[in-house]
């Protein structure tokens, strides 16, 4: 089989299962989740540190928010007629994931300066398919744990306008990416930046947030599975260090919020995510013996002159590349908050999140398609300074009838990925926001 595809096809391409398009988790704060995270032009609690730091200029003093999401996922597969195993079915292990968040904001009215700190995990999660799945030679288990740390400084330009700028540090502390032939693990980090503006008008707000792309260099280890074709290769190699890099997408979030009276807040966001940064994954194997084994398998799987040439390239250079060719997407978010009592608020919202993945580049690691997310939430003020927020969101993933995975390479066809994929997720969120 063509094992040089393994590290490339898994490392970072197929970690998320049920949130926004690609492998991004959009639900990063409880109050915002109840409003479909249409929060760029609201940004008046501590989660402004993430959604729009410039909004801190229109708060007072200090705010601290602690909380998290519990995400429950489900994914199913049934082969179709374009799969060489047309009767195969599989069910991924149901997932339960905890995604914490912590936010702090500070505003000094006298100096018209402020600061914020955001700690969360906007990219990640996992899929866990059985080793008996039709596509198990391509993918079984994919996982990533990531932490994003984002400090920002805020400036008030006028009574109505503010600006913020900051750094984004992304640390991937755990990556496990496996199939039935090879196990992969690694970690890495990278830096980026962000900038935002916030305009507070009479009965409406406007906000824009930009986050730059982040290049993450990943150092890992590739290990041949005992009894697998790679482990039995004549070169005898069982492990090798391996490196790659992935560029997380840059983003632009544009939001409007309307306050027709003191009871209602209506908000809408358009979030552009530049998944075009995910063009390909390029891998370097350190061990000459291991990459020789990879090359040998390429010959066995592919056969013919093309396979032999590919094997020679991998064996000699120790590098390979797999195209991804994702496309940029725009998520649309609509949310509302109703203050029906002085200390209680109800929230609801809707998100449409299109997939960035083209059919020919599809992977079971992300068995989703376009997604519809419906959310509700509630806020209760224990005191004027302390609020408990709760939220629930249901993620409906459109059924995907995958038929365009090609019947190549010979001997290890990608067409084993063809089939009908179904999935959904439930998101439960809770947080405490305290002002002091």
SS3 72: strand
Number of Cβ within a 10 Å radius of residue 61: 12
Cβ(135)–Cβ(175) under 8 Å? no
Mean of the pLDDT values across residues 24-31?
92
Start-to-end CA distance of the chain, whole Å, equals 61
- pLDDT band of residue 293 (cuts 50, 70, 90) is low
Q: What is the pLDDT of residue 172?
A: 87
List the domains of the chain with CATH numbers. Answer: 4-435 (2.40.160.60)
Main-chain dihedrals φ then ψ at residue 24, nearest 5 degrees = -95, 140
Mean of the pLDDT values across residues 372-387?
97
**Predicted confidence (pLDDT) at residue 1 exceeds the cutoff of 80:** no
High-pLDDT (> 70) share of the chain, %: 83
How far from 60 is each of 46, 114, 158, 207, 326, CA to CA, in Å?
11, 10, 16, 19, 42
SS3 track for 204-235 = EEEEEEEECCEEEEEEEEEEECCCCCCCCCCC
Number of Cβ within a 10 Å radius of residue 46: 31
Q: What is the pLDDT of residue 319?
A: 65
User: Which residue has 């930009």 as its token pair?
Assistant: 210
How far apart are the C-alpha atoms of 125 and 289, rounded to whole Å?
33
User: 102-106, 224-228, 420-424: which has the highest mean pLDDT?
Assistant: 102-106
How far apart are the C-alpha atoms of 162 and 156, rounded to whole Å?
4
How far apart are the C-alpha atoms of 66 and 61, rounded to whole Å?
17
More confident residue, 309 or 151: 151
How far apart are the C-alpha atoms of 209 and 334, rounded to whole Å?
17
**Predicted confidence (pLDDT) at residue 304 exceeds the cutoff of 80:** no
Model pTM score? 0.87
**Predicted confidence (pLDDT) at residue 14 exceeds the cutoff of 80:** no
Cβ(401)–Cβ(359) under 8 Å? no
Cβ(283)–Cβ(8) under 8 Å? yes
How far from 218 is each of 130, 145, 366, CA to CA, in Å?
26, 13, 20
User: Which residue has 């993945």 as its token pair?
Assistant: 357
DSSP string, 286-335: --HHHHHHHHHHHHHHH-HHHHHHHHHHHHHH-EEEEE-----EEEEEEE
Least confident range of 29-33, 41-45, 381-385, 413-417: 413-417
**pLDDT 10s digits, 192-216:** 999 999 999 999 999 999 999 999 9
High-pLDDT (> 90) share of the chain, %: 63
Main-chain dihedrals φ then ψ at residue 274, nearest 5 degrees = -90, 70
Number of Cβ within a 10 Å radius of residue 358: 12
DSSP letter at 275 equals G
Q: What is the pLDDT of residue 399?
A: 92
Q: What is the pLDDT of residue 182?
A: 76
How far apart are the C-alpha atoms of 121 and 127, rounded to whole Å?
17
- pLDDT band of residue 5 (cuts 50, 70, 90) is very low
How far apart are the C-alpha atoms of 28 and 120, rounded to whole Å?
7
Q: What is the pLDDT of residue 15?
A: 36
**pLDDT 10s digits, 42-58:** 999 999 999 999 999 99
**pLDDT 10s digits, 386-418:** 999 999 999 999 999 999 999 887 777 889 999
386, β-bridge pairs: 383, 434
Strand positions, DSSP E, 157-203:
161-178, 182-200
Main-chain dihedrals φ then ψ at residue 271, nearest 5 degrees = -115, 110
How far apart are the C-alpha atoms of 381 and 63, rounded to whole Å?
14
Sign of CA dihedral 269, 338, 424, 189: positive
**pLDDT 10s digits, 122-147:** 987 788 999 999 999 888 988 878 89
* Separation of CA 108 from chain center: 34
**Predicted confidence (pLDDT) at residue 300 exceeds the cutoff of 50:** no
How far apart are the C-alpha atoms of 27 and 68, rounded to whole Å?
9
Number of Cβ within a 10 Å radius of residue 147: 17
**Predicted confidence (pLDDT) at residue 106 exceeds the cutoff of 90:** yes
Sign of CA dihedral 237, 238, 239, 244: positive
DSSP letter at 128 equals E
More confident residue, 301 or 185: 185
Q: What is the pLDDT of residue 235?
A: 45
Q: What is the pLDDT of residue 18?
A: 41
**Predicted confidence (pLDDT) at residue 286 exceeds the cutoff of 70:** yes
Q: What is the pLDDT of residue 177?
A: 76
């Amino acid at each position: 089989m063509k094992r040089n595809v393994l590290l490339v096809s898994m490392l970072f391409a197929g970690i998320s299962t049920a949130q926004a398009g690609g492998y991004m988790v959009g639900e990063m704060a409880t109050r915002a989740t109840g409003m479909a995270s249409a929060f760029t032009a609201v940004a008046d609690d501590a989660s402004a540190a993430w959604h729009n730091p410039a909004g801190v200029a229109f708060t007072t003093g200090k705010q601290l928010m602690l909380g998290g999401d519990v995400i429950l996922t489900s994914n199913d597969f049934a082969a179709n007629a374009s799969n060489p195993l047309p009767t195969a079915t599989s069910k991924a292990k149901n997932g339960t994931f905890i995604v914490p968040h912590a936010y702090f904001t500070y505003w000094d009215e006298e100096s018209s300066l402020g600061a914020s700190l955001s700690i969360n995990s906007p990219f990640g999660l996992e899929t866990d398919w059985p080793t008996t799945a039709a596509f198990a030679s391509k993918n079984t288990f994919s996982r990533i744990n990531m932490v994003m740390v984002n400090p920002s400084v805020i400036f008030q330009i006028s009574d109505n306008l503010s600006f913020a700028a900051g750094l984004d540090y992304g640390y991937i502390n755990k990556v496990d990416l496996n199939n039935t032939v090879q196990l992969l693990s690694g970690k890495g980090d990278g830096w980026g930046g962000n900038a935002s503006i916030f305009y507070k008008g009479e009965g409406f707000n406007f906000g824009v947030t930009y986050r730059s792309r982040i290049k993450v260099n990943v150092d890992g280890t590739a290990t041949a599975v005992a009894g697998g074709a790679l482990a039995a290769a004549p070169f005898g190699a069982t492990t090798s260090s391996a490196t790659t890099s992935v560029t997380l997408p840059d983003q632009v979030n544009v939001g409007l919020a309307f306050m027709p009276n003191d009871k209602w807040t209506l908000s809408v966001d358009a979030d552009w995510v530049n998944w075009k940064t995910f063009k390909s994954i390029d891998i370097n194997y350190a061990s000459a013996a291991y990459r020789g084994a990879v090359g040998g398998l390429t010959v066995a799987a592919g056969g013919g002159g093309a396979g032999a040439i590919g094997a020679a390239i991998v064996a000699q250079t120790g590098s390979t590349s797999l195209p991804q060719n994702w496309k940029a997407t725009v998520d649309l978010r609509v949310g509302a908050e109703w203050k029906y009592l002085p200390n209680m608020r109800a929230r609801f919202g809707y998100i449409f999140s299109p997939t960035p993945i083209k059919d020919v580049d599809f992977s079971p690691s992300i068995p989703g398609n376009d997604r519809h997310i419906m959310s509700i939430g509630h806020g209760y003020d224990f005191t004027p300074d302390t609020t408990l927020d709760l939220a629930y969101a249901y993620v409906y993933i459109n059924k995907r009838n995958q038929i365009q995975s090609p019947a190549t390479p010979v001997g290890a066809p990608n067409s084993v990925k063809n089939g009908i994929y179904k999935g959904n997720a439930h998101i439960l969120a809770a947080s405490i926001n305290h002002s002091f």
